[in-house]
Amino acid sequence: MANQTTTRPATGDDDAGQRDLAATTRDVASGVAERASTVAARLPEAAATTRGAVEEAARRMEAGSDEMLAVGASLSLGIALGLLLGGANRILVALALIPATAMGVTLLDRFGGGRTSPSAASARRGA
């Protein structure tokens, strides 16, 4: 069995269709470029807002009691494990672990489990 191919000469309809396709592609590309420039213009503001929120969260964790941090870390860990056992997307499980990790690291820093430089350790000892 042989495959036969036939070629047709290009007609005016085919040329018009190709021109329409090219024009549509240019329109889509220019629309994407406009939206990308709008997003790029807003990116520094979004980064500043995110930085402020993270700093505020870190400040509140530092000011919170040990019990509150332990309960928050346990709750976040429980939610993450429930999501994992429930078959949730791994990205959601990882996102649920972020607060548990932050609170756990804060607790470890309070109890001397955190890494400190030698100068900071000697300053705490009063040397």
Query: How would you write the chain as a 3-class SS string?
Result: CCCCCCCCCCCHHHHHHHHHHHHHHHHHHHHHHHHHHHHHHHHHHHHHHHHHHHHHHHHHHHHCCHHHHHHHHHHHHHHHHHHHHCCCCHHHHHHHHHHHHHHHHHHHHHCCCCCCCHHHHHHHHCC
Domain boundaries, the chain: 28-63, 65-115
- pLDDT on residue 111: 85
- pLDDT on residue 71: 92
| Mean pLDDT per 10-residue section of the chain, whose length is 127 residues | 59 72 88 88 87 88 88 93 94 93 89 59 50
